Structure 1
Amino acid sequence: MEKIPTPLKVLTDEITIRDTAAGMVSICFTCSLLHLPLTYILQKSSVAFHIQPYKGRTDQSMHDNIKYITDKYGKHGAFYRFRSSTGRVLPLFYVYDSYLTPPESWADLLTAKGSHSIRGTPYDGIFVALIVEERHKHDILASGFDGIYTYFASNGFSFGSSHQNWKAIKAFCDGNNLLFIPSVGPGYVDTAVRPWNNHNTRNRVNGRYYETSLQAALSVRPELVTITSFNQWHEGTQIEKAVPKKTVTRLYLDYQPNQSDHYLELTRQWAENFNKEKDKWLM
């Protein structure tokens, strides 16, 4: 998952991301970004949208968001699409904090008989909800979502982000025709912005934490894996290049004694391995 970069930084980031062999970039979207010139971002990478909570986000406002995104970017070659279980190739949308909206409201949008359903319309898609607590999986199913993702990079932070639960979540998804998309990260440390949260810090251990997370994800044979994140420095989950830097107020964590592109290289290796393994699963 990636934060929206400035247009001047986009071209460099696109080249960097492409070199990792990642299949797509998921960028954060809120209604305040409706008029951002995303064509900069769409030039080189395949892009999916990670829809953030915002004041007044409802199933109806989401309908408007999806319509806007699809009308504006839907014909672009870089607009990421995924082949659904029915064989249709549809845009993929991640919905962060989806549990904030009641299942019956989501069902109005995401089920075929909903009052303003997008199913079977030009605005249909693959909609993936966030699982935090175990009970959310039942709400996600009732809501009409197409899949589940875990987002958080800190193993053990939530039910969904705990590697030990991924096998059970995958089994639930398989039994209910849902996608399961585990999310992995290189580590986690957000004490610069949340000083009280040190118990959720996960040290990188020179890449071993990242590789353990990736191995846990691949062990459940998912169709997709997301990485949290490319550049969320404030939570210490970035994988983009890093060099030593210290300011008056902050010491930025780097990857020494490894190279500045250590996590990009690990990502490339594991992405290539994932694609090879997935080909075997589907044989």
Structure 2
Amino acid sequence: MKPPTARELLNALQARTKIRLATPPKLVLTFYYGWYGNPAVSGRWLHWEGVDANRQQIASSTHYPVLGAYDSNDPQVIEQHCRWARAAGIDGFIYSWWGIDRYEEKPLPALLEAAQRHQLKVCLYYEQVPQPGDPRSVLPDLRHILRKFATHRAFLKVEGRPVVFFYDRAMHQLSLAQWAWVLEAIRREAPPGICAIGDSLGRTAARVFDGIHTYNPVLALLDKPLAAIRPALEAYYREAIRLADELGRIACATIIPAYDDTKIRKPGIRTDRFEGAAYRQQWQAVMHLNPDWVLITSFNEWHEGSEIEPSVEHGERELRTTAEFAPRFRQQEARPCLAPPLSALPATAITALRKAYRGKTIALMPDAASEALFWLLDVNLSVEPLDYADLIVPDRLTPTRYPVLVYATGEAYRATVNAPGDVDRALQAYLAAGGVLLALPNAPFPFYYADGKEANRAAQFGLPIAGSASRPEAGKTGFETPPVPSLRFQLNRSLLAGAGETLPFPEGGDQRWRPALRSLAPAGTTYIPLATLYDAQGRNWGDSAVLLRLPNGGTVGYIWFRLLEMPAAPILLEALFRLALST
């Protein structure tokens, strides 16, 4: 099988956007690990290190299981896990799956049988891509899962499709366009395909996958006092649930008793259980949010101290809390889907934009999958996806053929096809000839990784984007999370058709701020801001949308990735593409 072409990737993205799910069943699921082994059952220790049964301590485990350092293949252990889960009101397990015939897979058939006896369901958590960068390598894995496990009556299905979750690691080993191709390929090969739940809360991932989730919300809870846990978690998931409603996807909200990996990582991360109150606060948050599925991290990830399985230290406390809330959650009525529409562009603005681009083709750099791509398709402008090899063909990438070139992927790109840096040189030559390069990414920092290595090449193409800093400064750096409250975007209404005055900074999800700064623009640049971030004190934190006319004759534009997911995105995109062709 040949690698998918740029056109095939685009077609797959378009196909995925048409899928909408009916109201899914309300479920409580928990992440489950079958990777533990001991000498009595497996002939050796697996994942347990430094076991001291007399002192009830394990060097690689934050807490000590009531069952001791057990073996995941032990039928009695599997049976007890299912009894506990059923009594706690859990609907099923999300089983960590690492590859065909690996030892972690061995307990799975027995778990499915036990789950069937206890009226539980099982689905899989796809952990890693066999050959990162090659979507074809995923297909044998999915065929194996469908053939060997998904036919079991205990395997969780939604609308007849077996459920497979995809972990963040795997998500980043392929582009979103490649994942779209994988999901469409398996749907055609083994209809109706799978119900795929991606580890991302972003809008573009929600267009590709059937549902969205996050495995670990610890960063939203880190350093939070008990009273702040519920509002922090509600803020973290609110926008993701709204966009899942808008796109007809399954909305998941993950809760975690606590997290402590300081035994296995240095320095590691630790949050407090607050004697079980942190977990209760999170249950109250998801009861208020009312997602489709509540996910619990985890049933038995002992290395990271997130388990609800009974421990010597905490007993059955978290199982009792789960048993209190899970039935109440399932009894809640489906939430009303009142997703706000995208800001409407005046019909005259769309008509004028189509007229301006009549007879013109917009080129897409490889792996385009940001919201900008879907907007271009909705507005019905002519686009042509290019491969990296196309970019370096003499006289192929020219302003005459493609007056606008769009970067709509994540943080990584290929700088080299044949000779070192040949893609970079082609992009620079395109700009020097008067071309327009618009960076409209689906991740924080475009052109940050080149050929798999950290490079930060944005400035080479005239993009004045600032990175983060341990001590963020207004107008000088970006940040990882907001260092001050009450941040808002001020919109340039003189250039934006139908825009309001301000927009709030996102309160949840990925908040990594990578601003454009006038001070970083090349000398002699005409700098046109479209949206600027200010705090309550009036300090300027940089621009989230900007167009720059470079002194070499080229033009570049940039919109921060989260702004592309907000209701004002169509207005900003219309302005950027309109200004890109104006002189």
The 5-angstrom pairing of residues 1-283 of structure 1 reads: 1-4=31-34, 6-8=72-74, 9-33=77-101, 36-45=106-115, 46-57=121-132, 58-82=134-158, 88-97=159-168, 98-111=171-184, 116-119=185-188, 121-122=190-191, 124-131=193-200, 137-142=202-207, 144-156=208-220, 162-198=233-269, 201-243=270-312, 254-255=313-314, 260-278=315-333
Q: Which runs of 5+ in 2 are unaligned?
A: 1-30, 37-71, 116-120, 223-231, 338-583
Q: What is the distance in 1 between the residues matched to 2:139 and 2:280?
A: 38
Q: Residue 21 of structure 1 contacts residue 272 of structure 1 at CA under 8 Å; is this kept in 2?
A: yes
Q: Residue 70 of structure 1 contacts residue 123 of structure 1 at CA under 8 Å; is this kept in 2?
A: no
Give the aligned partner of residue 509 of structure 2. Answer: none
Q: Secondary structure at the match of 1:78?
A: coil
Q: Residue 221 of structure 1 contacts residue 281 of structure 1 at CA under 8 Å; is this kept in 2?
A: no
Q: Secondary structure at the match of 1:44?
A: helix
Q: Secondary structure at the match of 1:79?
A: coil
Q: Residue 276 of structure 2 contacts residue 318 of structure 2 at CA under 8 Å; is this kept in 1?
A: yes
Q: Secondary structure at the match of 1:94?
A: strand
Shift of 1:222: 1.0
In structure 2, what residue type is equivalent to 1:7?
N
| Deviating more after overlay: 226-235 vs 60-69 | 60-69
CA RMSD of aligned residues (A): 2.4
Q: What is the distance in 2 between the residues matched to 1:185 and 1:37?
A: 24
Shift of 1:61: 2.6
1:119 to 1:186, Cα distance in 2 relative to 1, 3 A: farther
1:70 to 1:153, Cα distance in 2 relative to 1, 3 A: same
Q: Secondary structure at the match of 2:261?
A: coil
- Higher RCO (CA 8 Å, separation ≥ 6 residues): 1
Q: What is the distance in 1 between the residues matched to 2:243 and 2:334?
A: 23
Q: What is the distance in 2 between the residues matched to 1:7 and 1:167?
A: 39
Q: What is the distance in 1 between the residues matched to 2:88 and 2:204?
A: 35
Q: Residue 163 of structure 2 contacts residue 194 of structure 2 at CA under 8 Å; is this kept in 1?
A: yes
Q: Secondary structure at the match of 1:7?
A: coil
Shift of 1:90: 1.7
Q: Residue 66 of structure 1 contacts residue 123 of structure 1 at CA under 8 Å; is this kept in 2?
A: no
Q: Look at both structures and tell me which one has the larger radius of gyration over its CA atoms.
A: 2
Q: C-alpha deviations, 1:26-80, integer Å up to 9, x for none?
A: 1100115456252211013210101102542543232221211111122211111
Q: What is the distance in 2 between the residues matched to 1:151 and 1:119?
A: 29
Give the alignment's TM-score, normalised by structure 1: 0.80
Q: Residue 156 of structure 1 contacts residue 163 of structure 1 at CA under 8 Å; is this kept in 2?
A: no
In structure 2, what residue type is equivalent to 1:139?
T
Q: Secondary structure at the match of 1:156?
A: helix
Q: What is the distance in 2 between the residues matched to 1:217 and 1:59?
A: 34
In structure 2, what residue type is equivalent to 1:195?
K
Q: Residue 155 of structure 1 contacts residue 162 of structure 1 at CA under 8 Å; is this kept in 2?
A: no
Q: Secondary structure at the match of 1:151?
A: coil
Give the alignment's TM-score, normalised by structure 2: 0.40
Taking every aligned residue pair, what percent have the same amino acid on both sides? Answer: 22
In structure 1, what residue type is equivalent to 2:164?
F
1:178 to 1:281, Cα distance in 2 relative to 1, 3 A: closer
The alignment covers a number of residue pairs equal to 250
Shift of 1:280: 8.5
Q: Which runs of 5+ in 1 are unaligned?
A: 83-87, 244-253
Q: Secondary structure at the match of 2:187?
A: coil
Q: Secondary structure at the match of 2:83?
A: helix
